[in-house]
Structure 1
């Protein structure tokens, strides 16, 4: 956004005019949200975010609202537009340490914006604690102070805002956790910067939504049949661990795959057969069995990992499918099987088209990509993108703020997955949904994005008390 602001100024836009629109938008929101406030307390920082605060304070005073300004730095030290805003404010201000909360106060946080990349000073941390202890409502300007706009991580301490007013577009810190929980309701205000300047700096990072996959998803036609809708195969674990594969298979069937087969060890056939109706069953015990199974070219898409158990066989099966040109969703035990052999996995799926989707949770991500997981300088989207480049496939970095990343540099953040998904078997269901979408012909990134979205929507439709069985049954096609 700093580069966007600079580009706007270079095109002849009045930078102070942009600041005035931003600050006045915050004032308008404050008056609308808290018409009964006894006093608006505006906390002004040392940069342009503080300048927005001074503009806001001036607008509140013009509206007749009781307003008090507390400054982090001596106003004489301000420069540029921030200095002009402070001068135009023309009211008095006090040092930050003079602020004492009063019942009826509404705090407008204009200390630091989205560009914060360091720990907040001790006096700010103490102020945040004071405001939090007093349970005062906070309106954040751009982003709650203390949050890193690129990662959503807390830099020492951060305000918990009831409302955030940001400008032109949301930032990653508004969507990634814990930032999402600290922003409250986020309002995006267009201050008049040409959108082409924003797009030029935004990069290929999106909030996950149907527009990502809609153009590549083929709608069912009247002449379609089950084979045209795709055949999904899910590998089963041993006879004592067959449930995870069945969850994946059922989710794949519900998500629209025309046929779904569980490829089961001979010893687990009976355990699987007793639970299956529309889902087919095949005996696949070893590499030779898999070779025979792959002779049918219609068997293009596979899920490997849920409840699978055997790491050596998992590696052999995954490599075989990569070499055979198949699509694979690698989950759970399949991911862990490659913890010391990631290069082998990447080599097996080399090629122009991306055919591999890997779906790790936090622990599995650290096992498969330890050097990336340990890099504290990277935000979650950057970690997911680095992992996608390393493995040559799409990475679904799961969590309450799941990030889907492609080796071509695209990434999406899911923001509507409910906490009820934190239940055993939920990831198995997701793997089956993504597999079904791959089987139907969606490219890997689009299939992963759609799968994550459908997974969250199914959970929302079930509501509290969700189990993985409920989740699989609630899946709808894209």
Structure 2
């Protein structure tokens, strides 16, 4: 699924197992800590060469050990360094105790730290493994640093961020830069953790990557490495029907725009033929705006049955502007029974809020051919128990939802998670804030539908669609609208 190593993600617990496996294989674990701390010091000096003082905050575990190494390295360059420790450093054990014993700087208790103008903070208190609320002394220093507006370089992950979920555990530093090791963690990409990390640098401290692969959790950063091999290839023999037929259902006369956005996006994403299936009352409104996209009146279940007689009409988008009710449910059921592939979005999702299992059962007995695109509220309508469980991360929720629905799930947001029924999952990181605009979700549904029409499997189509959506937004610029976003969809650049 993933080529190379830059897009790998490991949870903190899995990374801990990798560290243990490295030590068990005979690798000097303190040597790894030395490399980590030296990498932090190098990043700090590179980013803040003019700092008046480096303030290193060390915690009671191995993250603190990295901090002691960094403090020593900074001191050896002649830089002014102040060191503050949380907890009694005399109780440190193992590599962290060794790192502290080799650090020539006399530390002071964390609650005595008073940041001053010109300071650069090195946060080595907790790192990625925190799973409880930060103690008051840490919350206090977070507040003092924040109020002083001082730059922070975090070791592994800003203290206060849960590395598995990205949740703020009471309080958390807002880092300018984060140095992590071997792979990023989910908390570097999931919100709100991502907003606390600043720029993220992943440093290879020398653990053989085979040990990382052995603990791999089938979780990656979304990008072409994950789906490019599944993308369709065009050649001289290509024609429009070979590139697939996508149909987008329109709403009534006053709700046609969303379907046209999705249809235009599907055409731009490469579908050979795109049709808007419109209720009769909306045919005139749609006809006035459509050019390359075709138009067909599909009003009733009987109309849909006639439309499905053409086997080339294989992929559908239902939901944008369609309306919530029995008609949506009936159309989805008919498409499922006919073996069609479907992107279910917006109103189409909400239509099944009272009986989600009816939707899941309709698509249960096949290779995944359903893509669900819920935002937070829509997700809670289909999966209320998952949405309400605070122990689950966004990745956990998306994976369990995908397995339950036998669907590729795009759990939307600035940190969209894409999950497959078999447990594969991706976290997307390229969506700019400008995508928070009316109609952008309709465009995403159309892109995914256009890729499905070309034969891309459901999970890969969902993942590629999300990434291409963000990529188009980046190139469209901050003033994008849904209409202009479509013009920047380009998987060939």
Q: Which of 367, 380, 389 is the aligned partner of 2:381?
A: 367
Q: CA deviation at 1:447?
A: 0.4
Whole-angstrom distance in 2 between the partners of 1:294 and 1:166: 52
> Residue 351 of structure 1: SS of its match in structure 2?
coil
Matched, 1:148 2:149: no
- Give the equivalent residue in structure 2 for 1:451: 465
* 2:23 is equivalent to residue 6 of structure 1: no
The Cα shift of 1:477 comes to 4.2
- Which residue is equivalent to 1:213? 227
The match for 1:288 is 302
- SS of residue paired to 2:127: coil
Q: Which residue of 2 aligns with 1:59?
A: 73
TM norm structure 2: 0.95
Change in Cα spacing, 1:284 to 1:85, as seen in structure 2 (3 Å) is same
**Aligned twin of 2:452:** 438
- Which residue number corresponds to residue 241 of structure 1? 255
Structure 2 Cα separation of the partners of residues 154 and 35 of structure 1:
30
Q: Secondary structure at the match of 1:28?
A: helix
Q: CA deviation at 1:138?
A: 0.7
Corresponding residue number in structure 2 for 1:104:
118
Identify the residue that residue 370 of structure 2 maps to in structure 1.
Answer: 356
Distance 1:411 1:469 in 2: 30
Match of 2:396 in 1: 382
Quote the residue 1:412 is aligned against.
Answer: 426
1:164 to 178, 191, 197: 178
Instruction: Determine if contact 1:254/1:477 at 8 Å carries over to the other structure.
Output: no
| Gap runs ≥5 in structure 1 | none
Q: Find the partner of 1:258 among 256, 264, 272.
A: 272
Post-superposition CA distance 1:44-83 (Å, at most 9, x none): 1000000111111111111111111101011111111111
Spell out the pairing of 1:70-89 with structure 2 (5 A cutoff). Answer: 70-89=84-103
Structure 1 stretch displaced more, 302-311 or 434-443: 302-311
| Structure 1 segments of 4+ aligned residues over 4 angstroms from their partners | none
Deviations 1:155-201 (A, max 9, x none): 00000111111111111111111111111111111110010111222
Counterpart residue number, 1:117 = 131
Tell me the residue number matched to 2:488. 474
Distance in 1, Cα, partners of 2:40 & 2:395: 29
Q: Show structure 2 runs of 5+ residues with no match.
A: 1-14
The one-character-per-residue Cα deviations of 1:313-358 (angstroms, maximum 9, x if unpaired) are: 1111111111111000000000000112111111111234110000
Q: Distance in 1 between matches of 2:478 and 2:46?
A: 34
Q: Would you say the 8 A contact 1:250–1:473 is kept in 2?
A: no
Q: Please give the alpha-carbon distance, in whole angstroms, between the structure 1 residues aligned to 2:413 and 2:421.
A: 20
Question: What is the count of residue pairs matched by the alignment?
Answer: 478
In 2, distance between residues paired with 1:91 and 1:477? 53
State whether residues 106 and 138 of structure 1, in contact with CA within 8 Å, keep that contact through their aligned partners in structure 2.
yes
Task: Determine the C-alpha separation between the residues in 2 that align with 1:91 and 1:256.
Answer: 62
Check conservation: 1:232, 1:436, Cα contact below 8 A: yes
State the shift of 1:131 in Å: 0.8
Residue of structure 1 in register with 2:62 after alignment? 48
162, 187, 191: which one aligns with 2:201: 187
Shift of 1:310: 4.0
Q: Residues 130-154 of structure 1, C-alpha deviation per residue, up to 9 Å, x if partnerless?
A: 0111111111010000001111111
Tell me, yes or no, if the aligned pair for 1:315 and 1:337 is still in contact at 8 Å: yes
> Which of 343, 346, 352 is equivalent to 1:332?
346
Aligned residue among 279, 288, 291 for 1:277: 291
Distance 2:201 2:293 in 1: 46
Query: Paired residue for 1:308?
Result: 322
Shift of the alpha carbon at 1:91? 2.6
Helix, strand or coil for the counterpart of 2:258?
Answer: helix
